[in-house]
Structure 1
């Protein structure tokens, strides 16, 4: 019996001791659809949809499919003695193949092996599995058959799986120090798919480590501008953390060695030493918060060492407010402004040792690994400077040791639970947006002309999101990517009840950003307002904004 081999990662091909002609176009569509769902019964209706792309199969469609299947069985029998591989069952047809016989199945098997090796800490074998998997790709899946909506959709699914695998591979190669390989390989894909945040983060990191710092920073700025312009969104934490790491390393490399040069002199004499401003870029469109900004500015001017707590529900926009205020305060805090994330990308508390190391690097000192020594150095440095610190997403953390006890530095804290911060702090409650502000934000995401065409519907849309900035962003992104959906239809969907969250994210366009921003227990809605229950339930799985 000759070995069967099918390939769909490119143009459809069949081999059995040599190339096999799969027959006329509709017969090729039939076998391609069966291979798109290998070892699975494909209903006759699905085959009809794939073969007759105009949605109008002839009355003889079922009989025609029987002819195509019969011809394929004859081919399999003649070339490989494998007619029994193609069977009729449960109102459809199933083609049985193994991973060694179908490249898309083998690709999946190799990727799974690579990820399992990575989990087990076997980085080199993991990379080898990924490299072998990528060699299977010859072109776009099902090349030449995309007139079929079924096969076009399957091609996009396979491309998405390949992109995820490339992201895994790039991160593994970076772990091995193969920075040039990643920089050269990932850049083209990252430019074709600019919204793949992990791909962009890998590209930035690889370029930076190859000494191409300017290009790396330009990548971040390009992505930031695109997200702000097209969707009204800031960079996700994955990208922001890669950018912050580059800025911190750049600043650290520019500092004199510990014990010599201006940094040591500043620590000894109290002279100012400029520190990098490590902040997310300003929001593409900041709305409202006039009262909160005015009160915070008054406290910053009127207190010797202000400690201001921005308190509010998850997704309310506390971090955005703090960052906006920090960008406005550049002249008032010439020695630096820094955002310290108290949670990692998965929403878990960061160890104090790790936070201290970040603070030491920021002020130009190499961390010693001794928390007490690093803490003394940090407090001495910050006590002799005028800096603005943001401790973001404080939730039961002991901030006391990290807070300045001398000098004129200021601290902003964002939290859902004000009891987690010192009692002498000044508290500013951050409420939901006013309806007009939420509509303004929605207009920035979806376009002002679209909102002006039906402002009443726009008000209903933002009401359906609970007036949470995060929810308005995600809902607006949904509308921006579904131009055919009117604001009125969308508002009606939100008002209809469950599943509200599905209406916000069911195409996956908003979930990467929501997942990154909104993790944690966010079941409690904003004071005095009921947030849609479905959104509150979803909030438990995603990071706080």
Structure 2
């Protein structure tokens, strides 16, 4: 729904719905998922005030087409689209509808930001925004009754993007926030909140002249397009920047002496096709993180040559903004002509990458692992362990989980 309307099979391949009205019918049923929609209501939404005499018969034909496509997507779910109470009901399980996942992640991230947890908020808001692939049901002419719901989702997407920018600012990542906000101000130039946040990003990044110029651009846009002056919040931010008032500065960001934010992921140069379900499963790990109590661990398995590394790296690049403390990567050479890496050697590399001096890295494996877990204990960092042959190759490299020996 958050983009072109598609039905995917278990391999992530899109299945064809040939007729435009059938796609519109699916859109209506998705917005009313798990609720019965009467045939009369569906006729009204598909044809408006002047339906053809064959509308009911056509509706039945579209339902048959959808059943065929949905059955091909998942043969085990023959009851996806049922005739129910003089109409039809489309069953959608929890987590299957991207609009619902987006709304849940948005609520979680916004709540975390309000509770002073900007790093966690960035994580969830980033995953939420990754669900968008374009305008709501892009390329499909929406029935009139669905337009308010589509507009609500579009508005929520803008709010989530604004909240993520605010979280980046709270973390002191002014350049990252500014990059996001420049996109937002171009997309929705009459929204004042992105302009306000962009001014803050420039000012806190030491570019006060650019912050003031941003205000003038925003004001010119509002006067020209709407004939109004900027609102109180935008004017207040402008005045505070002009006077360099202390209130404009962010709360102190926790600093860690000597700590470095590593960026070790190899380039994401491949196009990943047919892996939507696997990417979605990995995304779910971030959602469950809040309730698990421990960092989530994903294991990507399969025969040689199927693209395990490509998948893992593509996902890692996609969610990298959710890990503001950095990303670690190592090829363990579990299946190669090169000898497999020793865990102590990997721990030493990781600790050096995180700013621990060589003289402080223990020579004992258990002690090095303990220091590694301590360094990572209050950091939000992604670790990718590639090409492992055995569990013992990674056991001491897992950051602070119940499965790590002590």
TM-score, structure 2 length as denominator? 0.55
The CA distance in 1 between the partners of 2:158 and 2:207, in whole Å, is 24
Could you tell me which of 55, 59, 64 is aligned with 1:61? 55
1:195 aligns with 2:177: no
Deviation at 1:182, TM superposition (A): 1.2
CA distance in 1 between partners of 2:113 and 2:215 (Å):
27
Cα pair distance change 1:113/1:99, threshold 3 Å: farther
Residues 9 and 72 in structure 2, CA contact (< 8 A), matched pair in contact too: no
Residues 139-178 of structure 1: pairs in structure 2 closer than 5 A: 139-146=134-141, 148-178=143-173
The answer as to whether partners of 2:199 and 2:214 remain within 8 angstroms in 1 is yes
Q: Is the 8 A contact 2:7 2:73 kept in 1?
A: no
Q: Could you say which residue in structure 2 is the equivalent of 1:104?
A: 99
Q: Which of 121, 124, 127 is the aligned partner of 1:126?
A: 121
1:183 and 2:178 correspond: yes
What do residues 437-494 of structure 1 show as CA deviations (whole Å, max 9, x unaligned)?
A: xxxxxxxxxxxxxxxxxxxxxxxxxxxxxxxxxxxxxxxxxxxxxxxxxxxxxxxxxx
**Superposition pairs for residues 63-102 of structure 1, below 5 Å?**
63-80=57-74, 81-102=76-97
1:240 pairs with 2:239: no
Cα distance in 2 between the residues matched to 1:218 and 1:29:
45
Q: Which residue of 2 aligns with 1:23?
A: 18
Per-residue deviation at 1:188? Answer: 2.0
Alpha-carbon deviation of 1:124?
A: 1.2
Query: CA–CA distance in 2 between the matches of 1:40 and 1:239?
Result: 43
Distance 1:23 1:154 in 2: 25
Alignment partners' CA distance in 2, 1:17 and 1:212: 49
Q: How many residues align?
A: 245
Q: Can you list the C-alpha shifts for 1:44-69, whole angstroms capped at 9, x where unaligned?
A: 3443344337x532122122112212
CA RMSD, 1 decimal: 2.6
- Cα distance in 1, alignment partners of residues 123 and 101 from structure 2: 14
Shift of 1:28: 1.2
Residue 108 of structure 1: how far off its partner (Å): 1.1
Matches within 5 A, 1:395-414: none
- 2:236 and 2:40 mapped to 1: Cα distance? 48
What displacement does 1:92 show? Answer: 3.6
In 1: Cα distance, 2:92 partner to 2:175 partner: 38
Contact kept in structure 1, 2:178 and 2:201, CA below 8 Å: yes
Alignment of 1:48 with 2:50, yes or no, is no
Matches of 2:180 and 2:93, distance apart in 1: 30
How far apart are 1:85 and its partner, in Å?
2.6
Aligned 8 A contact 1:207 1:215 in 2: yes
Q: Which of residues 222, 226, 239 is equivalent to 1:227?
A: 222
Map 1:194-343 onto structure 2 (within 5 A).
194-249=189-244
Higher Cα Rg: structure 1 or 2? Answer: 1
User: Is residue 42–residue 92 contact of structure 1 (8 Å, CA) maintained in 2?
Assistant: yes
| Runs of 4+ with >6 A deviation | none
What is the match of residue 12 of structure 1?
5
> What is the CA–CA distance in structure 2 between the aligned matches of 1:92 and 1:215, rounded to whole Å?
58
Gaps of 5+ in 1: 1-7, 253-356, 362-545
Say whether the 8 Å CA contact 2:7–2:70 is kept in structure 1.
Answer: no
**What is the TM-score normalised by the length of structure 1?**
0.42
**2:4, 2:138 within 8 Å by CA — same for their partners in 1?**
yes
- 3-state SS in 2 of match to 1:94: strand
User: 2: distance between equivalents of 1:169 and 1:36?
Assistant: 26
Cα gap change, 1:36/1:138 in structure 2, threshold over 3 Å: closer, same or farther? same
- The 1:49–1:208 alpha-carbon spacing in structure 2 relative to 1, beyond 3 Å, is farther
Structure 2 CA distance for partners of 1:56 and 1:130, relative to 1, 3 Å = same
1:160-190 residue CA offsets vs partner (Å, 9 max, x unmatched): 1100111111111110111101111111221
Say if 1:74 and 1:83, in contact at 8 Å, map to a contact too. Answer: no
Q: Structure with the greater relative contact order (CA < 8 A, sep ≥ 6): 1 or 2?
A: 2
Distance in 2 between residues matched to 1:91 and 1:221, nearest whole Å = 58
Q: For 2:17 and 2:227, locate their aligned partners in 1 and report how far apart those are by CA, in whole Å.
A: 49
